[in-house]
Amino acid sequence: MANPIVFFDMTIGGKPAGRIVMELFADCVPRTAENFRALCTGEKGSDTGNGSGGESIYGARFPDENFVKKHTGPGILSMANLGPDTNGSQFMISFESRIFFLDGKHVVFGQLVQGMNVLKAIEKVGNALGYFSKQILIADCGQPLILLRVLVSGFKIRWGSRYF
């Protein structure tokens, strides 16, 4: 089975910035990926609406699943936490590649597959301390409708997909 795909529709300073599409590594960290997917779709969890975080779908906190995946570059999703085995609903998306110091402390559970331009636009209004000059909001989120199409050319069949 393929890893799940989720999306964020982002705004910067109250203006639409575009869509970020992410693959969740359910094949490697199934509980962590399912936590994020279910929170993203709204199937489970609560909405504080202020970015302060909340509970995981498993309760207040859940343990680190493993540290197999590494922080290898921009667009990597990992859990934010307060120390070992304190994962909840907060997460981070990496802007740069020099973040190896997070390996072994924050579970990597996904990566951007579309929307790096949106991530770069968010980065432009931020600083090294993690503060932003404009408000960054997730306007909508969920699992995208995936349209698969088959192109038949002679005896060759090609599959293509596009995220909406």
Residue 122 is part of which domain span? Answer: 5-163
For residue 8, give Cα distances in angstroms to 52, 93, 112, 150: 18, 12, 11, 27
Q: Which residue has the higher pLDDT, 96 or 16?
A: 16
Q: What mean pLDDT do residues 33-61 have? A: 81
Q: Is the pLDDT of residue 164 over 50?
A: no
- The predicted model gives 76-98 an average pLDDT of 93
Report whether pLDDT(142) > 60.
Answer: yes
Percentage of residues of the chain with pLDDT beyond 70: 84
Count of the separate structural domains present in the chain = 1
| Helix or strand holding residue 95 (H, E) | none
DSSP 19-43: EEEEEE-TTT-HHHHHHHHHHHHTS
pLDDT confidence of residue 128: 83
Gyration radius of the chain's alpha carbons: 17
The more confidently predicted of residues 149 and 6 is 6
Mean pLDDT score of the chain, rounded to an integer?
Answer: 87
State pLDDT tens for residues 23-37.
Answer: 999 999 999 999 999
DSSP count for the chain of H helices, then E strands: 2, 8
Q: Is the pLDDT of residue 151 over 70?
A: no
φ and ψ at residue 26, rounded to 5 degrees: -65, -25
The CATH number for 78's domain is 2.40.100.10
SS3 16: strand
Q: Quick check: 144 pLDDT over 90?
A: no
